[in-house]
Amino acid sequence: MDIVQQQMLDSWRAAQHGEPPPPLPGRHDREVLREVRRRLAARAAAQRRPAG
């Protein structure tokens, strides 16, 4: 099953239970990457070494 089929199945199941549909695939990717980058920079700062 590919990601599109999984999304369709999850949306259908949510509709059957009266729940909101799940977010579209990839919708939050930028936010997740931004958060990972922020945490790595914070960890580097805590250890007093340059990030990257």
**What distance in Å separates the CA atoms of residue 38 and residue 30, rounded to the nearest whole number?**
12
Tokens coding 52: 């990257």
**What distance in Å separates the CA atoms of residue 28 and residue 31, rounded to the nearest whole number?**
5
Using one digit for the tens of pLDDT, what is the confidence trace for 17-29?
999 999 888 888 9
Using one digit for the tens of pLDDT, what is the confidence trace for 37-48?
999 999 988 888
CB of 7 closer than 8 Å to CB of 22: yes
pTM over 0.85: no
In sequence order, what are the residues at sequence separation of 6 or more whose Cβ sits closer than 8 angstroms to the Cβ of residue 6? Answer: none
Closest CA to 41 of 32, 33, 31, 50: 50
